[in-house]
Structure 1
Amino acid sequence: MKYTPYSYQQYAASWIIDKKYSALFLDCGLGKTVITLTAISVLLYDYFEITKVLVIAPLRVAHSTWDEEASKWDHLKNIKISKVLGTEKERIAALNTKADVYIINRENVRWLVNFYKADWPFDMVVIDELSSFKSSKSERFKALRKIRPLTKRIVGLTGTPAPNGLIDLWSQIYLLDGGERLGKTVTGFREKYFLPDKRNRHIVFTYKPKEGAKEAIYEKLSDICVSMKAEDYLELPQRIDNIISVELNSEVKKQYEVLEKELILSLDDSDISAGSAAVLANKLIQMANGAVYDENGEVKYIHDEKLKALDELIEAASCRPVLIFYGYQHDKDRIMNCLSKLNPRILQSDKDIKDWNRGEVQILLAHPASCGHGLNLQAGGNIIIWFGLTWSLELYQQANARLHRQGQKETVIIHHIIAKGTIDEKVMKALADKNTSQTALIEAVKAQMSKYKIGG
């Protein structure tokens, strides 16, 4: 297929070509893979600046997205790709295969660094979903940090650079510039730009930016980070977000409040306990959904209110395909049982994706983490139901973008089933609050390119 890039895609590819290290903060659907491969092709075959490229990506994306994109376009067919996946033996065989681009899943980054050590062979590294390296304590970050000085070029790709606030930026930007812009240590970055926010005595849980810090950070990143939002460049379908509220009965409300206040709830012959705020949050989300794991890992059923609402939404869809996002194994099991007459499918393989896009699946269940990146599901339907919410803004946005993206022919309807008076309401607010800070970042480093919109 002949590639006729939009002006913004040409701009983004040039951004990569012109800079030794850079980041593209691109919304879903803008074509970050073909943009990056186009830049790689130019650097390989026109400028002869690089010889061996490593792409680090989520497993499903590493498995299919990059090689499929390369094979789709005429100008990329000369690029030889080797997928460094599977067993250690298979990975080593892939590394020994002559290729231009080697693709590995992020879970094996540490293994790869240890495999090569100082003999690091890649002169360009592309991190697909740069935000998955947001923790400076993670093994994958520590591994890449070691070989950063050995890499001539590095590119970071993500649509959600700061899913939990600006504090997430340090490790991502460090992998690009080695600490040139935001400092050599996360502690120094934190002390310079942030103040303690939520805390318990000496333990600080969250930080908030100092006055003027946001603007200072944005300014420091503006020369290597370019941001583009899909709504500025693509004709996206209309999106309608609905809140479907369900009311819990008085007995369930009482159980919920007991757990919330006392951190323990006795049910039948077992206990539901929460030893920390994080555990409590998860337990409360489970209770809001209708079931919860006890201290022995067994499922205790609480209520069916969300299942009733789900059943009504499916009926109202009038046989149209519906994509359902669930949070826990017991959610999935109960949904599968509830909708068994409709032969629901769980998203597990490429076949499930193809069958969905061919219109052969009416009900598709997916965990947001399993379809967060690189999947095109817009051909199969236009209705999403969130049975249980996620705290992660990144997963939430990426999951919704499986249907709400270019190529979708219908208005996308996103239903959120919310248990009234529960943590569900707080999660919705938290997602909105996180989006506020992230949107500010995106807007601040957005390319000033009104002339590059489609048709410009």
Structure 2
Amino acid sequence: MKFTPHTYQQHAIERILDTPYIALLLEMGLGKTVSTLTAIDMLINDYFDVAKVLVIAPLRVADDTWPREVGKWDHLKHLRVSKVLGGAEARRKALRADADIWVINRENVPWLVQEYGSKWPFDMVVVDEMSSFKSHQAKRFKALKRVRPLIKRLVGLTGTPAPNSLMDLWAPIYLIDQGERLGNTITAYRDRYFTPGERDGHIVYHWRQKREAEERIYEAIADVAVSMKAADWLELPERIDRMMPVKLDAKATELYRTLERDLLLEYVDADVVAASAAVLSNKLLQMASGTVYDEQRGMKWIHDAKLDALEDIIEAANGKPVMLFYNFKHSLARIQQRFPQARILRKGRDGNDDIAAWNNNEIPLLLLHPQSAGHGLNLQESSCQTVVWFDQIWSLEYEQQANARVHRQGLRQSVVIIKLIAEGTMDMDAAAALERKAAGQEELMQALKARIDKIKAG
């Protein structure tokens, strides 16, 4: 297929070429993979600036998306890709392959750094979904930080740079500039832009932004962070977001209130116990969806209200495919039992076959977990117009990435995204929390957004 870059893609390519270390905050659907690969090809074969490129990505994206994009476009087919996946020996064999680009899943970054040490061979590194390096305590961040001085070029890609708060920006930006803009340590970053909030002794559980902290942070990273929003460039069919209230019956409501109040539901065989606030929150979300785990990991049925609502939604789809996101295994089991036609997205090559079947409208109800289907999957070619969130989650990043599997470039029809919200439950709190996070994310993207009018005019 011939690649004719859109204006925003050409801008992204030029920024990669011109800026050795850069964060491209490209919203879903803007073709960040092909833009990055085009820049890589030019740096290798036109500029002779790099020789070995490492791409770090979520497992499924490393296994399928990057190699597939190379094979898809005529101008990239000469690039050789080696997948550093599987067991240790398979990974070592892949590293010895004669290639231009090596792709590895992010979980194996510590292994890769240990494998090479100071003899790090990759002069360019691309971190796909840079937000997955937001924890300064994670092994993957510490490992990449160790070899960062040996990297000649680094590109960070994400559509959600600060999925929870601006605190998440420090670690990814450190990988870009080694602390030049936001401080050499997370402590320095906190001291400069935040004040301690809730704490227990010396442990601070929440940090509050100082006045004008956002503006100062945006200004500090503006030269190495380019933000582009899909809405500014793509004329996508309409996306409609709906919260569908689901009413629980009196018995289910009583059980829910009992656990909420007493932290205990007593059963003959095994009780349901919430030993902490975090456990209670999780179990209340489970109950809102209809089932909850007991102490023996058995399932205690609470209600079928969401299954009944889902049945109505499927009927209203009039035979068109429906995509559904679930968070709990017991929700998956109950959905499969009620709807035998449902299919889950499998792993590896089987998963690639599932994607093709879905895009050919051969799967009437596709069941996805947001963590395994959140990045890099192209599922927009089906005639699906209905996306359902059966369980509610707390992660804005997972929700945005998951919704973008359908509402992205190539979509031909409008999409309705429905959240099933059990009335008077933790579902409502989770949905409200994501709305607040989304507002903060929007402010960040707007503050760093490329000067689109100037780019378009040029």
Pick the TM interval, shorter chain: over 0.9
Q: CA RMSD in A?
A: 1.3
- Does residue 409 of the first structure (1) align with residue 412 of the second (2)? yes
- Does residue 13 of the first structure (1) align with residue 13 of the second (2)? yes
Cα distance in structure 2, aligned partners of 1:452 and 1:186: 35
1:345 Cα offset (Å): 0.8
Cα distance in structure 1, aligned partners of 2:132 and 2:443: 20
Partner of 2:40: 40
SS at match of 1:223: helix
Give the partner amino acid of 2:312. E
Cα distance in structure 1, aligned partners of 2:39 and 2:278: 42
- From 385, 390, 401, the counterpart of 1:387: 390
Partner of 1:360: 362
- Does residue 62 of the first structure (1) align with residue 65 of the second (2)? no
SS at match of 1:267: coil
Contact 1:382 1:408 in 2 (8 A): no
SS at match of 1:103: strand
Give the partner amino acid of 2:132. S
Please give the per-residue CA displacement for 1:317-352, whole angstroms capped at 9, x wherever unaligned. Answer: 111100011111100000011112xx1111111111
TM normalised by structure 2 equals 0.97
Partner of 1:95: 95
1:48 Cα offset (Å): 0.8
SS at match of 2:226: strand
Farther off after superposition, 303-312 or 252-261: 252-261
- From 344, 355, 374, the counterpart of 2:342: 344
1:200 Cα offset (Å): 4.7
Cα distance in structure 2, aligned partners of 1:96 and 1:379: 37
Partner of 1:74: 74
Alignment of 1:42-441 (within 5 A): 42-200=42-200, 202-340=202-340, 343-348=341-346, 349-380=351-382, 381-441=384-444
Please give the per-residue CA displacement for 1:402-424, whole angstroms capped at 9, x wherever unaligned. Answer: 11111111110111110000010
1:275 Cα offset (Å): 2.3
1:252 Cα offset (Å): 1.9
Give the partner amino acid of 2:372. S
Cα distance in structure 2, aligned partners of 1:128 and 1:438: 19
Give the partner amino acid of 1:143. A
Structure 1 unaligned residues grouped into runs of 5+: none
Cα distance in structure 2, aligned partners of 1:275 and 1:154: 44
1:195 Cα offset (Å): 1.8
Farther off after superposition, 343-352 or 252-261: 252-261
1:451 Cα offset (Å): 4.1
SS at match of 1:226: strand
Cα distance in structure 2, aligned partners of 1:20 and 1:339: 51
- Does residue 449 of the first structure (1) align with residue 452 of the second (2)? yes
Cα distance in structure 2, aligned partners of 1:358 and 1:83: 27
1:202 Cα offset (Å): 4.7
1:78 Cα offset (Å): 2.1
Cα distance in structure 2, aligned partners of 1:347 and 1:80: 28
Contact 1:237 1:405 in 2 (8 A): no
1:259 Cα offset (Å): 1.7
Structure 2 unaligned residues grouped into runs of 5+: none
Give the partner amino acid of 1:374. G
1:204 Cα offset (Å): 2.5
SS at match of 1:332: helix
Please give the per-residue CA displacement for 1:284-307, whole angstroms capped at 9, x wherever unaligned. Answer: 110100001111111111111111
Give the partner amino acid of 1:373. H
Farther off after superposition, 79-88 or 222-231: 79-88
Please give the per-residue CA displacement for 1:152-180, whole angstroms capped at 9, x wherever unaligned. Answer: 11110000000001000000101111111
Give the partner amino acid of 1:111. W
Give the partner amino acid of 1:354. A
Give the partner amino acid of 1:405. R
SS at match of 1:370: coil
1:201 Cα offset (Å): 5.6
Please give the per-residue CA displacement for 1:13-44, whole angstroms capped at 9, x wherever unaligned. Answer: 11111111000001111000011011111111
TM normalised by structure 1 equals 0.97
SS at match of 2:371: helix
Please give the per-residue CA displacement for 1:243-296, whole angstroms capped at 9, x wherever unaligned. Answer: 111111222222212222332222333221222222221111101000011111
Cα distance in structure 2, aligned partners of 1:127 and 1:337: 39
Give the partner amino acid of 2:443. A
- Does residue 23 of the first structure (1) align with residue 26 of the second (2)? no
Cα distance in structure 1, aligned partners of 2:233 and 2:203: 44
Cα distance in structure 2, aligned partners of 1:250 and 1:268: 21
Cα distance in structure 2, aligned partners of 1:6 and 1:145: 34
Cα distance in structure 2, aligned partners of 1:333 and 1:161: 34
Q: Percent same amino acid at aligned positions?
A: 54
Cα distance in structure 2, aligned partners of 1:204 and 1:276: 18
Cα distance in structure 2, aligned partners of 1:197 and 1:248: 37
